Amino acid sequence: MESFLFQASIYLGAAVLIVPLAVRLGLGSVLGYLAAGILVGPVLGLAGTENEDLQHFAEFGVVMMLFLIGLELDPRALWDMRHKLIGMGGLQVVLTTAAITLVASWLGLSLQIGMTLGMLFSLSSTAIVLQTLSEKNLMRTAGGRATFAVLLTQDIAVVPILAIIPLLALSGTGMPESITAATFGISNPGAVVEAHTAGAAEPLVTLVQSLPGWAVTLMTLGIVAGIILVGHFLTRPIFRFIHASRLPEMSTFISLLMVLGIAFLMMLVGLSPALGTFLAGVVLANSEFRHQLEADIQPFKGILMGLFFITVGVGINFDVLLANPVLIVSLTLAVIALKMSVLLLLSFIFKLRGPNRWLFALGLAQAGEFGFLIVSFARKQSILPTSIAEITLLIISLSMLLTPALFIGYEALARRMKSRETERPADVIDEQGRIIIAGIGRFGQTVNRIVKMCGGSTVVLDSDMAAIEQMRRFGAKGFFGDPTRPELLEAAGLSEASVLVVAVDNPENAVKIVAHARQQRPDIHIIARAYDRPHVFALYRAGANDIVRESYDSSIRAGRYVLENIGFTDYEASKVTQTYFKVERAALRDLAQVWVPGQPVHLNDAYVARAQQLERDLAAAMTEDLDESRAKLDAAQ
């Protein structure tokens, strides 16, 4: 008992110390877990002997991960994404597998080993890439969406990959001793069955093993059909019954029972528990209990997956790296280069351009965390020799460690492409309009559409060529050029225009455009988009007439909806929010007079005092308006 507690303390302590640090450094949690395992294993030698047993237990985290992935995959959403999933994602997995298999065969490895290496290297790191895309706000770009589609395909592909590996073992080295109960992602099934033979499961295991092949097939089909039918028809009454007990822990019990029970049934007939739980997740994706299931399973999945990555780090043999550093580093770079080549080819086929092409190619060039699982499973199936498996683990780890460098490379290329695009000569502006719109992002597009539909004439300027081209594809006209350049504003008709809409993304550029326009045309009406309050104040100082904060109107509307749903009438909620808008807008003009550029507002005593007074005035005005509105309603009744 003391030894168990000591080892548990080491693993948990290493995770607590290393993983948050890795996340703060932008390396991601997966690399943090690997680093924690490397620290307590190869570096300090505090763990190692118990590693294999822990890894068997931790692999249940993979089963839970696939269940959660299934919950996220609404069958309708899967159908809508079928072209990217099957086309882009499917081609990436198939082409990468084929390319690496050919290279492995050229190096003298068997077809079975080559295909196994090809399949595991075709996968990328879902955890690292998605986290990085989110942190860098790249998920909404065309490259980010394509990357997500391929990652989704790879996650789904894990299930058939784990199903193919035992067939490779069967064709290459004869039937491995565990093939009759292949777990496809769980520890040695022979060991699992042996562990159960002394328990209550022994009669059931013995019965299944004694059945003829046709009976096992029927039983397998029955279990799969049962998972679908139970998931579709019985989960709602079961969960309602459990929730009626008013015991929160019962929800966790039923969630774990569902995952572990399905895993056991699939293992019993020699199929993948990952496949079964994934299928159950997809069936439950539209259930009203989906979010409860996610909340119940997520902590267990996170802990077990973290433990799995730590055990992988503990098991990495650095003696192999130190003995062959040039070979392993060269192989790692070769895998990255080969994957990049396939991804660049796909980017041409699916018409990704510019920075999006390089985001797609560099973002997915590393190996992924599922590679560790496949290496472990392939070793158990006697496909990968120990020496090749150790080198493969090092290649996967090094490629993941290089992921931040790959994204740095993407950012450098994106900046270079953007500078080249900016250096491109501006379009010749051959028309003028009463309204000039500087910036054609989502904000500028909406303004332009409303004005055009009402018969207004606009001239649109933007320094983003991709945005201009997108406009033109939909039949709208725009001109490429930097709106901060005075000569372009003049060419667009600044001297004759009635309204200037400033909707550029860069706050400093917005202030610069407003200041220049006000200096040249004191009479022009300027409407500007603002990022936050300090930006509002800067735009007021520069001469803007109307300023719209990005989320201001939508947040007022949301506040109105809240009031309507807590007892306010529609009329009361409308009047109160209108008062808020008018009074708060006037208050901003007062605050702009005491605002000091460059000084944080909370350190400006005059600003703080004035803001507090205006807040009290605003509350009093809203209360007075509400009382007046209710009095009018009472009088009308």
Q: What is the DSSP string of 187-232?
A: S-HHHHHHHHTTSTTHHHHHHHHHS-HHHHHHHHHHHHHHHHHIII
Structure token pair of residue 247: 């015991």
Q: What is the pLDDT of residues 224-261, one digit of tens each?
A: 788 778 777 777 788 788 777 777 778 778 878 877 88
Quick check: 186 and 263 in contact, CB under 8 A? yes
Look at 88-92, 179-183, 398-402, 445-449 and tell me which has the smallest mean pLDDT: 179-183
**CATH architecture under which domain 50-289+321-412 falls:** Up-down Bundle (1.20)
pLDDT for the residue 275: 65
Q: Is pLDDT above 50 for 627?
A: yes
pLDDT for the residue 56: 64
Quick check: 154 and 122 in contact, CB under 8 A? yes
Exposure string of 415-430, with b = 16+ CB inside 10 Å and e = fewer, is eeebeeeeeeebeebe
pTM of the model: 0.55
| Domain 431-550: CATH class, spelled out | alpha beta
pLDDT for the residue 188: 38
Tokens 């692999």 belong to which residue?
Answer: 59
Residue 51's pLDDT band (boundaries 50, 70, 90)?
A: low
DSSP state, residue 603: G
The dihedrals phi and psi of 260, each to the nearest 5 degrees, come to -70, -35
Q: What is the pLDDT of residues 300-330, one digit of tens each?
A: 777 887 887 787 778 777 788 888 889 999 9
50-289+321-412 and 431-550: identical CATH topology: no
Domain boundaries of the chain, sorted by first residue:
50-289+321-412, 431-550, 552-637
Residue among 519, 523, 530 at smallest CA distance from 553: 530
Quick check: 436 and 459 in contact, CB under 8 A? yes
Helix axis angle, 273-283 to 213-229, nearest 10°: 30
Q: Is pLDDT above 80 for 149?
A: yes
Three-state DSSP string of 261-288: HHHHHHHHCCCCHHHHHHHHHHHCCCCC
Structure token pair of residue 32: 């943090």
The stretch 115-123 carries a mean pLDDT of 92
Q: Which helix (H) or strand (E) holds 548?
A: strand 546-549
Tokens 């808020």 belong to which residue?
Answer: 580
Q: Is pLDDT above 70 for 460?
A: yes
Residue 31's pLDDT band (boundaries 50, 70, 90)?
A: confident
Q: What is the pLDDT of residues 559-579, one digit of tens each?
A: 888 888 888 888 888 888 888
Q: Please name the amino acid found at residue 576.
A: V
Q: What is the pLDDT of residues 160-173, one digit of tens each?
A: 887 788 777 765 54
Quick check: 370 and 123 in contact, CB under 8 A? yes
pLDDT for the residue 197: 40
Quick check: 377 and 135 in contact, CB under 8 A? no
Residue among 371, 374, 312 at smallest CA distance from 165: 374
Tokens 């995952």 belong to which residue?
Answer: 259
